[in-house]
Structure 1
Amino acid sequence: MPQDTPRPVLRMGVLGCADIAVRRILPALVEHPSVRLVAVASRDRARSERIAARFGCSAVTGYRTLLAREDIDAVYVPLPPGMHHEWVAHALTAGKHVLVEKPLSTTYAQSAELVAMAARLDLALTENFMFLHHSQHAAVRAMVGEIGELRVFSSSFGVPPPDPGSFRHDAALGGGALLDVGVYPLRAAQLHLAGELDVLGACLMVDEATGVDVAGSALLSTATGVTAQLDFGFQHSYRSVYALWGSRGRLTVPRSFTPPREHRPVVSVEQQDRLTEVTLPADHQVGNALDAFAGAALSGTGRAALGEALLRQALLVEQVRKAARVVSR
């Protein structure tokens, strides 16, 4: 009898032992059927050995050492944003597919350079916007007809102040609320609004002590006049939500960016004299994001679309920064 064809597996390494890698990505890598976690690298030998022992892979000291390994096809990069351009470029040059934490880089020019490099080398390159891969957003798009013609998209993502020693307070490492949490509402607006978005105005509140923005807002518009009202920051109580407001009602999606794996999303549909709450299935957005990345790396499909999305996001972030009124605190 014919034997089953072995399922292709993407051999992955991790550059850095950031908290998000340890809490969310490494556990998903270990259990994913299309991925094999090969090695974890850190500049601190003891740290890489501790993390590697926990997840059953090799420990590597130094990022270049990991990139030189021939038993690795792709890397996940959870380094601070200010380090992304350098190490994504090194990874691509070494022939590795790259999954990088958002944002891809701190400027549009750097992002464009990396996207062009990935295309030239025929490698998959994508930002790890895990929320895009949760099934609740497709369900919401299917429900939009219930609220009539869309008028306004709104979204907020705020978190309590990070630890004072976090890279989020360091401008040289690409810190700041816009690049940390502001990119989520911006990406969500692109998910639900058709066409290019113009930045009508923005405001960034900058901490004088650190020089980084800690909060902000932006007002965007489509060519047809649908507006997007976005707020973000890390001087806030936790809030993760977006809403679509139409001519006949409003759809609200709480826990929109970071729903736990077991969480069953509840979408509110407000109409003239009726409130309906729709409970959706739980979903594993981390695993789904790895599915998408592994598929792009192993099959080569969808890579051009990935590059287009990266550039659109990077340009929008840069336009918000350029348009922003800066207020010191």
Structure 2
Amino acid sequence: MTIGIAIIGSGNFAREEHLPLLHASDTFDLKALYSRTLKSAETLLSEKNITTLDIYSEDSGPGKRYEDLLAREDVQAVVIALPITAQPTFIKQALLAGKHVLSEKPVAGDLETARSLLSFYQTEVLEKVVWGVAENYRFLGKFRRVAEEVRKLGAVRAFRVSVRTLIKPGSKNHQTEWRRTPAYRGGFVLDGGIHVVAGLRLILGKEDALAAVSAMSCLQQEHLAPVDTVDAVVKTKSGATGTVSLSYGAAVNETVFDFSCDRGVVSLNLDRVTANGESFDVPYEGRSVNHELAAFAESIRQGELEERLRPEEAMADLEIMEGMFVSEGGSVQLDLQ
């Protein structure tokens, strides 16, 4: 039996991933789309030439608002892809309405809000519905492969992560108003960097998770205020040290993960993995949102959330990012890893 589902949000990710995947899904039955405005919802569906979905928005009038969508018995689940600070309220409403929820990363704009949201879920609705937080980097084949290669070579002794690019004025992400004037700490670094942190955590594994972070931040491009670059030194529970450099205002473009292990070196450069001098490409299979959705569907059917979707994992990602932002050169201890 298919799972009735609705998409909450009509931004870039809904346009590029959620809508086409769910519309073509044999697992989910896409029933409706919610957006803040009727115009944005209609524009998205027109672009995709989809005429079969019901539209809900804040300006659609009585019977067509978010709470009305949540009242539908044929909608068992929702995918929420809204601005970072807006999501917690929509998540709570959906959970209280008895809907299964997959919300986009980060789990919240700050750790305090995330803790409150998780506490609410655990005390109010945990046994009724599943709530997962989508982080597609946990499903990407290249990170899983690097993790496997690292395990083969023993303990990690040192590592370097450098992800640098430039968000140009007028680009699709910069055009988004809530990203241009963020109401959360870290701006583009939080929005993009949390992916990188999730990938790093996957590779290091639970047994050698990060324990402390110290960082400095700056702004290189005025249009990316308040901050577009963070450089951090981190330490794992075993005592291994590493650097994590994140910039969305950089003059160079690179995505590099290097790990020095007991018995050799593993590196990831874009989609190319090198293990002890032997290089191979991990074929790019998209952003792996399809795998997230499959895991979400299976979680609903089993009544138990897939490990990679757990809100606790998303909170651990956010703890590292927030530690970078508040550090100002001091050492911040990490407790959720």
| Fold match (TM-score > 0.5) | yes
Aligned to 1:89: 92
* TM-score (structure 2 length as normaliser): 0.80
The DSSP-based 3-state class of the residue aligned with 1:159 is: strand
Assess if the C-alpha contact under 8 Å between 1:169 and 1:175 holds in 2: no
Distance (Å, rounded) in 1 between the aligned partners of 2:263 and 2:89: 49
Question: Identity percentage over the alignment?
Answer: 22
The DSSP-based 3-state class of the residue aligned with 1:177 is: helix
Aligned to 1:50: 43
* TM-score (structure 1 length as normaliser): 0.82
Please tell me the residue identity of whatever aligns with 2:35.
S
Aligned match for 1:59, one of 30, 33, 55: 55
Assess if the C-alpha contact under 8 Å between 2:102 and 2:133 holds in 1: yes
- Does the alignment pair 1:313 with 2:317? yes
Assess if the C-alpha contact under 8 Å between 1:126 and 1:310 holds in 2: no
Distance (Å, rounded) in 1 between the aligned partners of 2:86 and 2:132: 16
Quickly say closer, same or farther: Cα 1:157–1:73, change in 2 above 3 A.
farther
Unaligned ranges ≥5, structure 1? 1-7, 256-264
Quickly say closer, same or farther: Cα 1:160–1:64, change in 2 above 3 A.
farther
Unaligned ranges ≥5, structure 2? 59-65, 331-337
Q: CA deviation at 1:216?
A: 0.8
Matches within 5 A, 1:115-264: 115-119=118-122, 120-122=124-126, 123-162=129-168, 163=170, 164-166=174-176, 167-172=178-183, 176-193=187-204, 194-206=207-219, 212-236=226-250, 237-255=252-270
Distance (Å, rounded) in 2 between the aligned partners of 1:304 and 1:188: 15
Q: CA deviation at 1:211?
A: 5.0
Any idea what the Cα deviations from partners look like across 1:26-85, whole Å, max 9, x if unmatched? 112223322221111112213312333534422222333433333211211211112122
Aligned match for 1:36, one of 9, 29, 32: 29
Distance (Å, rounded) in 2 between the aligned partners of 1:286 and 1:43: 23
Assess if the C-alpha contact under 8 Å between 2:209 and 2:237 holds in 1: yes
Aligned to 1:262: none
The DSSP-based 3-state class of the residue aligned with 1:231 is: strand
Assess if the C-alpha contact under 8 Å between 1:34 and 1:294 holds in 2: yes
Assess if the C-alpha contact under 8 Å between 2:296 and 2:306 holds in 1: no
Aligned match for 1:76, one of 76, 79, 87: 79
Quickly say closer, same or farther: Cα 1:33–1:209, change in 2 above 3 A.
closer
Distance (Å, rounded) in 1 between the aligned partners of 2:217 and 2:100: 34
Any idea what the Cα deviations from partners look like across 1:142-167, whole Å, max 9, x if unmatched? 22255443212322333322535432
Aligned to 2:61: none
Distance (Å, rounded) in 1 between the aligned partners of 2:100 and 2:291: 17
Distance (Å, rounded) in 1 between the aligned partners of 2:222 and 2:325: 17
Which deviates more from structure 2 when the two are superposed, residues 292-301 or residues 194-203?
194-203
The DSSP-based 3-state class of the residue aligned with 1:213 is: coil
Query: Cα RMSD between the aligned structures?
Result: 2.6
Q: CA deviation at 1:247?
A: 3.5
Aligned to 2:63: none
The DSSP-based 3-state class of the residue aligned with 2:166 is: coil
Q: CA deviation at 1:10?
A: 2.2
